[in-house]
Amino acid sequence: MLQQSVLEWRDGWREEGRQEGRQEGRQEGRQEGRREGERALLLRLLEGKFGSLPESVAGRIEEASSEQILQWVDSVLTAQSLDDPFVS
């Protein structure tokens, strides 16, 4: 009886851990998808306004935080040169 209870608790904890892991994975996947979308938007805006971009700009965007990318997206509207959005 005690052994059966321990096995049930163990199995319950395993399943709970699996469910938490799946949920965390989905959430991380959504966040990464959102970041990729933000990066793609910024690249599209910059290319539309300034033409072909140097690899250094693409690399900088790839390494940037979501918050930074959104700041750059906002600044593209008033940018006069490719350097303008990246000046803080």
The 10s digit of each residue's pLDDT in 22-32 is 777 788 888 88
pLDDT tops 60 at residue 6: no
User: Across all residues in the chain, what is the average pLDDT?
Assistant: 85
pLDDT tops 90 at residue 71: yes
pLDDT tops 90 at residue 49: yes
pLDDT tops 70 at residue 9: no
pLDDT of residue 57: 93
pLDDT tops 70 at residue 76: yes
pLDDT of residue 19: 77
Cβ proximity of 55 and 37 under 8 Å: no
Q: What is the b/e burial string over 47-75, where b = at least 16 CB atoms within 10 angstroms of the residue's CB?
A: eeebeeeeeebeeebeebeeebbeebbeb
